[in-house]
Structure 1
Amino acid sequence: MPEPTIQANSVSSTAANTAPMAGIGLIILACLCFAILDATAKYLGSEIPPLQIVWVRFVTHVLIAAVLFQVWRRPGILRTRRPILQLVRALCLLGTTIFNFLAVQYLQLAETVAIMFAAPFVVTALAGPMLGEWAGPRRWAAIIVGFAGVLVVTQPGLGNIHWAAIYSVLAMLFYAVYALMTRQLTATESPTGMLILSGCVGALAMAPAGIAVWQAPPTAFFWVLLLSTGFWGALGHYLFIRAHGIASAPVLAPFIYVQIIWMVTLGYLVFADIPTLATLLGAGIVVSSGLYLLYREQRRKA
């Protein structure tokens, strides 16, 4: 009876090889959605208060997810075994959204995402004690190299740092905890339920502020952009949740570095922000570190 065993092992090995790669692909697509969301929020901020943008982003997030997944046909979809963790995770998502939307009003997209790239250090450091997912020395080395690329972009100490950078720092800290709790909850909670619950908490929490500062968008185009924030947010976080359901946090964490490519591109196309040589060099280092981690993951699972 050896053949069934060999076949089962082969299938298991194939699944083990595919899962991290699929998770990495999903996280890269999620980062593209987040980059589009940030660019949209920055553009809208010229005419609409940031807190209003945050509120509409969560309201449309909930509506789109509810229709897409037909929650009225799945009454148990919002049940959770860990309500406290769900609430804390949702508040972390709300926190990172608020502070990130505030930051993009003052900083270039490439600057905000560069600060956010400190998150893999926090995620990798806490994933061991919180999730039992310990990163090895080579993965740590690749993360440090990737962060060195971020330092090339930001060039700390060579110029004045805008005070709004604190918003990006706070957004980064909230994001790191959000990422870890997402990984923790995927073991017992459904991706759809997590997506809708986080949107509901954000929509309810931001309703008073969003209504208080409400300003009607000046044109139909601004209306479309405002309503699209929920689509990009919901899609990005759904991909984010699915990625953390099939791959570990230390494997996925460095690949948020790829977002700098999306942000630099959108900054140039939408806001005419021309990337400097330092930005391009740093981005190249970042991508190289991610490709090395991808190579190591393939070798490890081969």
Structure 2
Amino acid sequence: MIRSDNMRAALLIVVSMAAFTINDAFMKLASPGVPFFEQIFLRGVLITLGLTGLAWALGQLSFRPSRRDRALTLLRTLTETVGTVIFLTALFSMPIANLSAILQALPLTVTLAAAVFLGEPVGWRRLLAILVGFIGVAIIIRPGFEGFSVYSLYGVAAVCAITLRDLTARKLSAEIPSIRVALSAAIGVTVMSAAASLIMGERWVMPDTGAALLMAGAAVCLMVGYISAVAGMRLGEVGFVAPFRYTSLLVALILGRVLFDEFPDALTLLGAGIVVATGLFTLFRERRTATASTGIPPKGLRIR
């Protein structure tokens, strides 16, 4: 039963990673014809409507979080908003596979940040792996060398914002539904993008049919990705399913080649390989440490 649950969970994680990456590709394809913040707003409206309907169907709209959870949800929403703007700025200006390669450092940054800010134990092996992983990120970015793009630094900033978002999510209580947390983030991003568009004086346009379909597809992919990710992490053992998150890089490589005629150079692929390898090692050590301390392999997320 555990093996079959793990395999189903792994498939759900692969689906979620593919959905998230396809969402990125759709937004990148739609970007030339729609102003930046208008595009974020329109996608946000669609996601908010979809998550509201889902939360209503599951009876979660009436849930009343504690004051502590409300504060944490607000902080997570703020980091989600900042991360969205920074990430899309990078996405619209650099190859999708290169940005995806930088994002593979997330398991490393979350592990390090959890040790620094939450006091979670991290041994010297994982610390060394994190250091080597950061070297891999430096190889991808190559500051000061040919092929360097300032938008790679936006990718690093997006990793920092997402890391803070994930740390905040770890502090939420088990009672608060995940869909409610996601809905709060969707509302926050939507409101922010509308305000930013007004402040920046964007001239809104009516998207053509192609751009409208792309943004609608992006919204659907985001919701599919979110639901699949939560289901996969709850169904299977974290140590087994988490490495399947790295399939997003493979999907990004394929989409970059097919849709944008982009493919990373050898150094970028080398750096990505280092980041993925050290991330997998970190997950492996985290699983072994958890099993050694409790005698029980770690199961899925507690958040509903």
Superposition TM-score tier, normalisation by shorter sequence: 0.7 to 0.9
Matched residue, 2:65: 80
CA contact (8 A) 2:104 2:276 kept: no
Alpha-carbon shift at residue 172 of structure 1 (Å): 1.9
SS of equivalent residue, structure 1 residue 107: coil
Listed as ranges, the matches of 1:23-102 within 5 Å are: 29-71=15-57, 73-77=59-63, 79-81=64-66, 82-102=69-89
2:164 matches 1:177 = yes
Q: CA deviation at 1:132?
A: 4.5
Secondary structure of the equivalent of 2:32? coil
Write the letter of the residue equivalent to 1:216. Answer: M
| Counterpart selection for 1:274 from 263, 266, 278 | 263
- Contact 1:124–1:253 under 8 Å retained in 2: no
Letter in 2 for 1:226: M
Query: Which residue in 1 is equivalent to 2:91?
Result: 104
1:191 matches 2:181: no
- 1:162 corresponds to: 149
Identity of aligned residues (%): 28
8 Å CA contact 1:182–1:241 kept in 2: the answer is no
2:110 to 123, 126, 129: 123
Which residue number in structure 2 is paired with residue 3 of structure 1? none
Which 10-residue stretch deviates more, 108-117 or 45-54? 108-117
Q: Deviations over 1:218-268 (max 9, x none)?
A: 2x2221111222222233344455667789999998875553322222111
Query: Residue 103 of structure 1 contacts residue 164 of structure 1 at CA under 8 Å; is this kept in 2?
Result: yes
Q: CA RMSD in A?
A: 3.7
Alignment correspondent of 1:228: 217
- AA of the residue aligned to 1:88: L
Structure 2: distance between partners of 1:131 and 1:247: 25
Distance 1:124 1:89 in 2: 18
> What one-letter code is carried by the residue in structure 1 that aligns with 2:48?
V
Report deviation, 1:97: 0.9
Residue identity in the other structure for 2:34: I
Flag the 1:252–1:239 CA change in 2: closer, same or farther, 3 A: same
Counterpart residue number, 1:216 = 206
Cα 1:239–1:178, aligned 2, differ >3 Å: closer, same or farther? farther
Local SS of the residue matching 1:101 = helix
Structure 2 distance, partners of 1:239, 1:138, is 32
Which segments of 5 or more consecutive residues in structure 2 lack a partner in the other structure? 298-304
State the Cα distance separating 1:164 from its structure 2 match: 2.9
Structure-2 separation of matches of 1:112 and 1:252: 23
Contact 1:131 1:184 in 2 (8 A): no
Deviates more, 1:26-35 or 1:273-282: 26-35
Amino acid at match of 1:65: L
Q: 1:196/1:37 Cα in 2 relative to 1: closer, same or farther (>3 Å)? A: same
Contact 1:93–1:198 (CA under 8 A) maintained in structure 2: yes
Other-structure match for 1:5: none
Rounded to whole Å, the distance in 2 between the matches of 1:264 and 1:247 is 27
Asked whether the 8 Å contact 2:141–2:149 carries over to 1, the reply is no
- The 3 A distance-change label for structure 1 pair 279 and 31 is same
* 5+ residue gaps, structure 1: 1-10
In the alignment of these two chains, the number of paired residues is 286
Structure 1 length normalisation: TM-score?
0.76
